[in-house]
Structure 1
Amino acid sequence: MQASVYRLTMSHPGDLSELAALFESGSLDPSHVIAVIGKTEGNGGVNDFTRGYFTLAFATLMAGKLKLDIPQVIASIPCILSGGTEGVLTPHYTVFARSPASAQPDGKRLAIGVAFSVPMLPEQIGRQAHIDAVATAVQAAMADAGLENPEDVHFVQVKTPCVTLPRAEEATRRGAQVLTADPGRSMAYARVAGAFGVALALGETTAAAASEVAMFADYGIYSSRASISSGVEIEANEVIVLGNSAAWSGDLQVSHAVMQDALDIGAVSHALADLGIPALPQVSAQDAPRLRAVFVKCEPARAGKIRGQRHTMLEDTDINAQRHIRGAVGGLVAGVTGDTRLFVSGGAEHQGPDGGGLIAAIAQV
């Protein structure tokens, strides 16, 4: 197999014109598209309907090209959106495709796998059943990519459902009890369940450690390769796994690094250096076109300090802390890459160390 990656911009959350142009020109076969990861210009919260807006527009375009119904597209192609393009971040989406290999490379190349879990019942969200469902789906996505060794996996993007008020009411009618009926809190617990599930699937922790009781309690348990988003627009966990495999061809590779805090510019440079792209201190104009996608997960430090100095992100009642951190870390990473088309997502609970996160990048070899 051979992987292809297309980073496309949009003028609004329903703008798929650049993808449509690729189809019309014959540059991309619609049947080769297997996943999408994107950043929309919403608030990233419970009522961020820009994610659903993009998903519907994407599914409508793909349904026409593939001669499928819209629900069939939604159920077969993971379309994972994160809201919030604060600061210099540019609304954009990355399209992943795979096609038959034309030649075998000398070395490992980008491998892509996708999977869906079974739909989650409201009372399962944020609980052990949720952790286990994500772990199973990640293993299925690895198998889909042909990635047998977890060490070859560099980035796992998961979108999980959350509990909405109607879902909570439906559970109550059945005599079930949800973990929380607060959609915002549910999104946070869903993200942690996703992170624990990825860590479990990749062997970064044990089943005994990655349990409900450790959620928001033991921040020493985390995944160094998980990026988890949650939203009201889905009912099952959607998983995209990116790794490197000698069984894949093409000219792309993926790397990652752990960010220890919001100022860890060294981790950004390290992830790029692994792809043969120096940042001295910024990626050069010659190397910039080689970068095909950059994914970042970040979180305000719960101690309220960054390298000993107080921050106010967790105390600002006007601007949500996740919006603060996306803007801050987005600016730092954009300063290194020289490109604002970055997937920068907040809500990094147990995804990297507390107050830190992770960065992953795809580049042409």
Structure 2
Amino acid sequence: MRQARVHRIATAGPDDVSGLDEAIAAGRIDPAGIVAILGKTEGNGCVNDFTRAFAVSALSAALAARLPPAAVARIAMVMSGGTEGALSPHILVLERGEAEADVAKGPALAIGVAHTADLAPEHLGRMGQVWLVAEGVAKAMHDAGIDDPADVHFVQIKCPLLTAERIAAAGARGADTATRDTLKSMGLSRGASALGVALALGEIEAHALNDAVIGSDFGLYSGRASTSAGVELQNHEIVVLGMSQSWSGPLAIDHAVMADGIDIEPVRAALKRLGLEARGQLASEERSRLVALLAKAEAGSSGRLRGSRHAMLDDSDIASTRHARAFTGGALAGLTGLTELFVSGGAEHQGPDGGGPVALVVDRRKGES
């Protein structure tokens, strides 16, 4: 029987691997058991945010001293740029291994990982990407030993974006791309990837999807997808988090869907399902049991929130995704009392327009975490 372990480690910068090094040296993390590292870096989260690639490079170098190259390449490294407001840069190290003898039996947190083939630029933001991701999600579920899509609570994906060079390469082959706007390509990639998750989990039927709905019909969405686009890859790195009877241990996961950026009550309800009272802001003991929070944030396309106008879409200096991360991050920090929150901007087809999915990983042991 397998056991999942999740380690939240603060970082002083995108290249800071000291916390990971210390945890490995102390025996708290077995590098051979690492299957994924999710990280929040303090870049702008846009096309030219190289803090993501910087972090991946530093993490890869640190692990290369302990693992063979093929083992390092198998680790999904999903870096999400942007820690606006008081969001705190950190990494989440996802580890799995044999279950300890004295841990609680399942169901427990299960982790699966898959890497897709590289995506041709002309398929980005189109059905080719949707189908590729759906296939990858199915492989990650198999890797986690999860058969029922209902047992999947979150799917974290790192997906590619278009650059001028990639657009030119497609043109040289006589192919056109869904857009020539590199920033817009991030949203299309995130959206197509999210619809791939929805297709794989049975949230949307295939007949409802086509190229035209991607990035336009936001009534179609996944309540369990979180996708982040970056220049540092051309494939998709997929991490499935769910619950399984074949896994053991104290960790459990549940999810909620926020209807807008301040809709914290579904998140509170999920915390309660996981055994926390969550009457107000989490008390110190409960806060210590919240191992990880992952969320999506988006500026609603109507330009209004609960009837009042917001200006996130009208700011020519700062991308709306940056406003949304800070806004939703603040709401969730107020609920949890934590700022090491994995809040990712750009929620196209990830939750309802203006809202987004949230996943919570909790240690079920009271007073022992």
Q: Which amino acid aligns with 2:126?
A: R
Aligned to 1:327: 326
CA distance in 1 between partners of 2:8 and 2:209 (Å): 34
Aligned to 2:246: 247
Segments of 5+ residues of structure 1 without an aligned counterpart are none
Query: Retained in 2: the 8 A contact 1:267–1:359?
Result: no
Aligned to 2:367: none
Aligned to 2:192: 193
Aligned to 1:27: 28
Give yes or no for the alignment of 1:59 onto 2:60: yes
Query: Retained in 2: the 8 A contact 1:292–1:364?
Result: yes
Q: Could you say what secondary structure the match of 2:137 adopts?
A: helix
Aligned to 1:99: 97
Aligned to 1:40: 41
Aligned to 1:175: 174
Superposition pairs of residues 126-141 of structure 1, within 5 angstroms: 126-141=125-140
Q: Could you say what secondary structure the match of 2:248 adopts?
A: coil
Segments of 5+ residues of structure 2 without an aligned counterpart are 365-369
Query: Retained in 1: the 8 A contact 2:125–2:192?
Result: yes
Give yes or no for the alignment of 1:259 onto 2:235: no
Superposition pairs of residues 216-231 of structure 1, within 5 angstroms: 216-231=215-230
Aligned to 2:78: 80
Q: In the alignment, which of 78, 89, 92 is matched to residue 87 of structure 2?
A: 89
Q: Could you say what secondary structure the match of 2:111 adopts?
A: strand
Query: Retained in 2: the 8 A contact 1:59–1:73?
Result: no
The share of aligned pairs that are identical, in percent, is: 47
Query: Retained in 2: the 8 A contact 1:109–1:248?
Result: yes
Query: Retained in 2: the 8 A contact 1:84–1:326?
Result: yes
Deviation at 1:170, TM superposition (A): 1.3
Q: Which amino acid aligns with 2:65?
A: G
Deviation at 1:175, TM superposition (A): 1.7
Deviation at 1:73, TM superposition (A): 5.2
CA distance in 2 between partners of 1:215 and 1:131 (Å): 9
Q: Could you say what secondary structure the match of 1:236 adopts?
A: coil
Q: Which amino acid aligns with 2:92?
A: T
Query: Retained in 1: the 8 A contact 2:193–2:227?
Result: yes
Deviation at 1:289, TM superposition (A): 1.0
Q: Which amino acid aligns with 1:210?
A: L
CA distance in 2 between partners of 1:211 and 1:364 (Å): 41
Deviation at 1:106, TM superposition (A): 4.0
Aligned to 1:291: 290
Q: Which amino acid aligns with 2:57?
A: L
Q: Which amino acid aligns with 1:66?
A: L
Deviation at 1:64, TM superposition (A): 1.0
Q: Which amino acid aligns with 1:289?
A: S
Segment of structure 1 superposing worse, 101-110 or 125-134:
101-110
Query: Retained in 2: the 8 A contact 1:164–1:232?
Result: yes
Deviation at 1:28, TM superposition (A): 1.3
CA distance in 2 between partners of 1:216 and 1:115 (Å): 25
Query: Retained in 2: the 8 A contact 1:271–1:359?
Result: no
Query: Retained in 2: the 8 A contact 1:105–1:246?
Result: no
CA RMSD of aligned residues (A): 1.1
Q: Which amino acid aligns with 2:58?
A: A
Aligned to 1:110: 109
Query: Retained in 1: the 8 A contact 2:186–2:229?
Result: yes
Q: Which amino acid aligns with 1:256?
A: H
- Residue by residue over 1:227-250, the C-alpha shift from the partner in whole angstroms, topping out at 9 and shown as x without a partner, is 011011001011000000110011
